[in-house]
Structure 1
Amino acid sequence: MKKILFIAMLTSLIIACSDSKDIDDIKPEIDTNVSFAFPKQCTTLYFGEDFNFSALFTDNIELGSYSISLHNNFDHHSHSTEVTECELGEIKTPVNPFTFIQDFEIPDNLTEYEANQSITIPTGDENGLFDEGDYHFFISLTDKQGWSTQKGLSIKIMHRE
Structure 2
Amino acid sequence: MKTFKYFIYSLLILFISISCNKDEDIDTEKPQIDNSFAGAFPMNCDTLYFGESFDLKVLLKDNVELGSYSISIHNNFDHHSHTTDVSECSLDPIKTPESPFVSIEDYSIPSGQTEYETNVSIIIPANSGGESFDEGDYHFFISLTDQEGWSAQKGMSIKMLYR
What root-mean-square deviation, in Å, do the aligned CA atoms of Structure 1 and Structure 2 show? 1.4
Q: Is the 8 A contact 1:51 1:119 kept in 2?
A: yes
Q: Tell me the residue number matched to 1:91.
A: 94
Tell me the amino acid that sits aligned with residue 46 of structure 2: T
Give matches, 1:62-73, under 5 Å.
Answer: 62-73=65-76
Q: Tell me the residue number matched to 1:59.
A: 62
Normalised by the length of structure 1, the TM-score is 0.91
Q: Is the 8 A contact 1:66 1:142 kept in 2?
A: yes
1:76-125 deviation per Cα after TM superposition (whole angstroms, max 9, x unaligned): 11011110011111100000000111101111111000001101111211
Q: Tell me the residue number matched to 1:36.
A: 39
2:116 maps to which of 104, 113, 123:
113
2:16 maps to which of 9, 27, 35:
9
Q: Is the 8 A contact 1:96 1:127 kept in 2?
A: no
The CA distance in 2 between the partners of 1:87 and 1:46, in whole Å, is 17
Q: Which has the higher strand share?
A: 1
Residue 150, structure 1, aligned to residue 153, structure 2: yes
Aligned length: 156
Quote the offset at 1:48 in angstroms: 1.0
Normalised by the length of structure 2, the TM-score is 0.90
Residue 26, structure 1, aligned to residue 29, structure 2: yes
1:47-98 deviation per Cα after TM superposition (whole angstroms, max 9, x unaligned): 1111111100000111111110100000111011110011111100000000
Q: Tell me the residue number matched to 2:125.
A: 122
Question: Secondary structure at the residue paired with 1:102?
Answer: strand
1:45 maps to which of 45, 48, 52:
48
Tell me the amino acid that sits aligned with residue 71 of structure 2: I
> Whose Rg is larger?
2
Quote the offset at 1:11 in angstroms: 4.1
Identity across the alignment (%): 57
Question: Secondary structure at the residue paired with 1:83?
Answer: coil
Tell me the amino acid that sits aligned with residue 147 of structure 2: K
Could you tell me which runs of 5 or more consecutive residues in structure 1 were left unpaired when the two chains were aligned. Answer: none
